[in-house]
Amino acid sequence: MFGFRRWCLLALSAASLLCVDAKSSTGDSVLVVVDPSNQDKYSLFFDGLKDSGYKLTFRSPKAEKPVVIADDVPNFDHVILLAPEARNLGKDITPQSIVQLLSLKTNVIVTLPTKQSPLHSLAAEFGLILPPPGSPLISYFPQRDTPSSLIPIPIEDHSSPALTKHIEPVWFSGIPQALSTNPLLIPILRAPAESFASETLVTSGSADALVESAEKGGEGLWAGSALAAVTGFQATNGARIAFVGGAEVFSDELAQKEVAPYVKSGNADFSREVAAWTFQENLVLRIDGVEHHLAHENTTVAKEQYTNNDNVVFSAYVSKWDAKQGRWEPYSGLKDLQLEFTMLDPFIRTALPPVRATPGKYSTTFRAPDRHGVFKFIVDYKRKGWTSLQSSTTVPVVPPRHDGYPRFLSAAWPYYAGAISTSVAFLLFSTAWLAGEARDRSSKKAKGSKAE
Amino acid sequence: MIFSPVAVLLLAASAVQASVLTLQSPKFVVTDALGSQLRAEPFSLVHRTGTPVKLEAKDTLKITFQVVDKEDGKGVQPHQTFIRFFDPSTGEEGIQPIRVTGGGKAKFELNPSKPPLYLPPTSTEPLKVSLIIGTPNYDPITVRLFDLILPASQPAPTHPDEASFHVRPELHHTFRPDQKLPPKAVSLFFAGLTFAPWVVLIGLWSQVTPRLTHLFSPSILPFILSLVAFESLLLTYWVKLRLGEVLLYGAGLGLVTIFTGRQALSSISSLRKD
């Protein structure tokens, strides 16, 4: 039995070596805070990360070093807190320091304990409402041999933007989280509809306790598919944090447990996907550059200022991080990118469709408003799970110069006719005067000479 | 007797699965504000009630049943007896535990005039109502009962930033309308009117032809040409030149004109003295 398990692990790690490794866009160093006695329990998960190129540093919750932040500079690119049973995680890992880690663009995976802990107040900071201590998620559905607190949760394709592939049902054991309406929250794994949070020891008073807690109003009852078992949060600076209801999701035992006859659970895939989203491998975008110019045939040079009613072409170049290749690739898959032309309030908001010929280029032409002022081209793209794209280019729009107005109007033809007639008449008159004879004098003189 | 371990397991499993719950006298009643019954039907765990239940603002829906063990008919108080309202079009969900006595008797009441907090906001589709019963050592029950149509409610509250995470409506600027010009026929007509004096002039000239005898003499022609050049400089300025350029050309031309003019006018004055 022991030999069989060992052989299974060896085969799995050999297979994972053949897998394509997926790299993070922000760095490879990961700090894992885990009790050394439990470290083997998560060996499949750690090996999966190591095969993808991450450099894991393990630290016991009781140890002081290595420190996560030294002198306001983070020492690691990513942090995994896998010690929910520890009372405290070290002097330098507190809710405030985790928030500071996020503001320094370090991504964090946090596993929440069932009992009361400072991590509960951290989760509350992010709009997650946790059930009272000691009440994990339990479900009597589907009927199974495992205890009611170990729940197989099926995952529908495209149920969460953070999961990019099909995943078999996942074994989950831990606490659920109720979500506030904050749009920065991304539920990654929703609890099943029949599940609820309750103490695992069922006594005769448990049913009444449930009814009482619900009648308290507000968040008295944690139940149903509005709860999430694993939630992600993407901060406005792009850093991501994932709150996982329990550490068992990552364990080897659940990764190898079957959800249906001959169907392995999706825990290994799911853990890898959660790490992939949190560590900035998937769904990471950036704007490479923007440009703007007049819509004439042969100009692509940006003008310093535009005039009212000019036709302006604006283009943005967007890339997506390709985790398999480990580099940024131009990405034309954004269907709903929008451009705003703003002076205090958006004057124009139009769609930026992708250009077929150039991958990654999104372009549109619009007419500058006939108000003059200092405008901004603003691209502000926020979607749940994706990095937010922000770009702002300031450009003045000036009224037309004295010779920028329409000329040679049809209404002015009489005036043109009159002025040109005057010039021509002047020329004819001066020619006639200069070139002509003074007839009186010459005829008088001729007469006079003839008379003599 | 030798029992194979698998057979023993199967027997044990079937013994566990024999614990089944069922509902005794399940029914729901819709009464209006005055107390008269609008609809009273039993519901079943096996098939769904076909017609949706419609509740007006002052009506009351009451659901009663008793949870019993199927084998011996004794009342059971399950750990989990929930009623779930789900709207599939918006994904909103509301769950409420039903109070069940120790003997398994359950009663649930819903009055839209005092809407409880867990009710999801309404949309165009009816709410799907299901019953979830779960307890240790018994088979769990989850069954759809009926569809519920409630009076319309406010939509669910959203975070103020939520709109910026979706496509936002397009904005267009209304431009000032283009300048309106009078019809070209009118302009042509009046341009033609300004040419009327030319007609008169040409008519008069046909009678009295001016004789340009000195036109091609070398003292007069250059001056005439520089006058023509000045006029064409003026025309070119109007079409495409700038002030600086025209002053430059004008200065050059002016210098030339001084000399040609002196020559021309002095020759004319000498001609006329004779």
What number of helices (H) and strands (E) belong to chain B? Answer: 5, 10
Burial classification of residue A306, based on how many CB atoms lie within 10 Å of its CB (0-12 exposed, 13-18 middle, 19 or more buried): buried
Contacts of B214 in chain A (CB under 8 A): 434-437
Contact yes or no for B231 and A210 at CB 8 A: no
Q: For residues B218 and B234, what is the distance between their CA atoms, to the nearest angstrom?
A: 25
Contact yes or no for A141 and B184 at CB 8 A: no
Amino acid sitting at position B2: I
Q: Which residues 6+ apart lie within 8 Å of B22 measured at CB? A: B45, B67, B68, B69, B70
Q: For residues B171 and A114, what is the distance between their CA atoms, to the nearest angstrom?
A: 49
Q: How many CB pairs under 8 A join A and B?
A: 180
pLDDT at A139: 92
pTM of this structure: 0.82
**ipTM score:** 0.79
Q: pLDDT tens digits for A305-350?
A: 888 888 999 999 999 999 988 899 999 999 999 999 999 999 999 9
Domain boundaries along the sequence of chain A: 21-278, 285-398, 410-445
Contact yes or no for A207 and B80 at CB 8 A: yes
Q: For residues B165 and A3, what is the distance between their CA atoms, to the nearest angstrom?
A: 52
Q: Which of A60, A50, A58, A61 is nearest to A28 (CA)?
A: A50
The tally of CA atoms less than 13 A away on the side-chain side of residue A92 is 18
Q: pLDDT tens digits for A95-149?
A: 999 999 999 999 999 999 998 888 999 999 999 999 989 899 999 988 888 888 9
Q: Are A45 and A57 in contact (CB under 8 A)?
A: no
Contacts of A410 in chain B (CB under 8 A): 181-182, 184, 187
Query: What count of other Cβ atoms lies within 10 Å of the Cβ of residue A353?
Result: 14
Q: Which of B109, B135, B144, B173 to mutate to test the interface with A (most CBs of A within 10 A)?
A: B173
Domain boundaries A285-398, CATH class: mainly beta
Q: Are A175 and A130 in contact (CB under 8 A)?
A: yes
Q: For residues A85 and A83, what is the distance between their CA atoms, to the nearest angstrom?
A: 6
Q: Which of A93, A107, A102, A36 is nearest to A276 (CA)?
A: A107
Min Cα–Cα distance to chain A from B149, Å? 21
pLDDT at B32: 87
Q: For residues A27 and A169, what is the distance between their CA atoms, to the nearest angstrom?
A: 30
Q: Which of B171, B199, B202, B232 to mutate to test the interface with A (most CBs of A within 10 A)?
A: B171
Structure tokens at B167: 């496509």
The tally of CA atoms less than 13 A away on the side-chain side of residue A270 is 34
Structure tokens at A259: 């959800």
Q: Are B43 and B28 in contact (CB under 8 A)?
A: yes
Please state the rounded mean pLDDT for residues A159-186: 93
Q: Are B272 and B266 in contact (CB under 8 A)?
A: no
Residue of A nearest to B102 (CA): A204
Q: For residues B92 and B125, what is the distance between their CA atoms, to the nearest angstrom?
A: 12
pLDDT at B13: 46
Burial classification of residue B223, based on how many CB atoms lie within 10 Å of its CB (0-12 exposed, 13-18 middle, 19 or more buried): buried
Residue of B nearest to A227 (CA): B93
pLDDT at B15: 46
Contact yes or no for B93 and A226 at CB 8 A: yes
Q: For residues A383 and A394, what is the distance between their CA atoms, to the nearest angstrom?
A: 24
Q: Which of A410, A430, A441, A442 to mutate to test the interface with B (most CBs of B within 10 A)?
A: A410
Which residue of A181, A351, A435 is in closest CB contact with B215? A435
Is the Cβ of A103 closer than 8 Å to some Cβ of chain B? Answer: no
Domain boundaries A21-278, CATH class: alpha beta
Q: pLDDT tens digits for B26-61?
A: 888 998 888 888 888 888 888 888 888 888 888 899
Determine the straight-line distance between the first and last CA of chain B, rounded to whole angstroms. Answer: 164
pLDDT at A128: 94
Q: For residues B230 and A101, what is the distance between their CA atoms, to the nearest angstrom?
A: 78
Choice among A162-176, A383-397, B49-63, B211-225 with the minimum mean pLDDT:
B211-225
Q: Which of residues 109-128 of B touch A (CB under 8 A)?
A: 117-118
**How would residue A373 be classed by pLDDT, with cut points 50, 70 and 90?**
very high
Structure tokens at A278: 């949190």
Our measurement of the distance from residue A301's CA atom to the centroid of its chain's CA atoms, rounded to an integer in Å, reads: 30
Structure tokens at B121: 């906001």
Residue of A nearest to B243 (CA): A403
Amino acid sitting at position B41: E
Contact yes or no for A196 and B80 at CB 8 A: yes
One pLDDT digit (tens) per residue for chain B, 274 residues = 444 444 444 444 444 455 888 888 888 899 888 888 888 888 888 888 888 888 888 889 999 999 998 888 888 899 999 999 999 888 889 898 999 998 889 999 988 888 887 888 888 888 999 999 998 888 898 888 889 998 888 888 889 999 999 999 999 999 989 888 899 999 999 999 999 999 999 999 888 887 777 677 788 888 889 999 999 999 999 888 788 889 999 999 999 999 999 988 888 888 777 6
Q: Which of A225, A413, A445, A449 to mutate to test the interface with B (most CBs of B within 10 A)?
A: A413
Structure tokens at A336: 């709903």
3-state helix, strand, coil in chain A (%, to 5): 25, 30, 45
Q: Are A138 and A198 in contact (CB under 8 A)?
A: yes
Choice among A10-24, A212-226, A360-374, B119-133 with the minimum mean pLDDT:
A10-24
Q: Are A240 and A79 in contact (CB under 8 A)?
A: no
Percent of chain A with pLDDT over 70: 90
Q: Are A337 and A316 in contact (CB under 8 A)?
A: yes
Our measurement of the distance from residue A398's CA atom to the centroid of its chain's CA atoms, rounded to an integer in Å, reads: 35
* Range A351-359 contact pairs with CB under 8 angstroms and sequence separation of 24 or more: A351/B170, A352/A314, A352/A316, A352/A379, A355/A315, A358/A330, A359/A330, A359/A331, A359/A332
Please state the rounded mean pLDDT for residues A295-310: 77
* Residue predicted with more confidence, B213 or A178: A178
Does A378 score more than 90 pLDDT? yes
What domains, with CATH codes, occur in chain B? 18-151 (2.60.40.1930), 184-273 (no CATH)
Structure tokens at A298: 């042969």
User: Is A285-398 the same fold as A21-278?
Assistant: no
Is the Cβ of A224 closer than 8 Å to some Cβ of chain B? Answer: yes
Contact yes or no for B86 and A193 at CB 8 A: yes
Q: For residues A410 and A412, what is the distance between their CA atoms, to the nearest angstrom?
A: 5
pLDDT at A449: 47
pLDDT at A380: 94
Q: Which of A92, A91, A56 is nearest to A76 (CA)?
A: A56
pLDDT at A9: 56
Choice among A16-25, A185-194, B61-70 with the minimum mean pLDDT:
A16-25
Q: Which of residues 187-206 of A touch B (CB under 8 A)?
A: 193-194, 196, 198, 202, 204, 206
Is the Cβ of A446 closer than 8 Å to some Cβ of chain B? Answer: no
Q: For residues A248 and A153, what is the distance between their CA atoms, to the nearest angstrom?
A: 14
Contact yes or no for B175 and A309 at CB 8 A: yes
Q: Which residues 6+ apart lie within 8 Å of B264 measured at CB? A: A434, B219, B220, B222, B223, B224
Q: pLDDT tens digits for A39-85?
A: 999 999 999 999 999 999 999 988 888 888 888 899 999 999 998 88
Please state the rounded mean pLDDT for residues A242-252: 94
Q: For residues B224 and B226, what is the distance between their CA atoms, to the nearest angstrom?
A: 5
Q: Which residues 6+ apart lie within 8 Å of A55 measured at CB? A: A28, A29, A30
pLDDT at B188: 93
Q: pLDDT tens digits for A206-216?
A: 888 888 888 77
3-state helix, strand, coil in chain B (%, to 5): 35, 25, 40
Which ranges constitute the DSSP H helices of A216-307? 252-256, 267-278
Does A441 score more than 60 pLDDT? no
Does A20 score more than 70 pLDDT? no
Does A382 score more than 60 pLDDT? yes
Residue of A nearest to B164 (CA): A382
pLDDT at B227: 92
Q: Which of A126, A135, A138, A140 to mutate to test the interface with B (most CBs of B within 10 A)?
A: A140
Placement of tokens 């008269």 in the chain: B36
Residue of A nearest to B214 (CA): A435
**Which segments within A368-430 are labelled E, that is strand?**
373-381, 389-398
Which residue of B94, B158, B179 is in closest CB contact with A181? B158
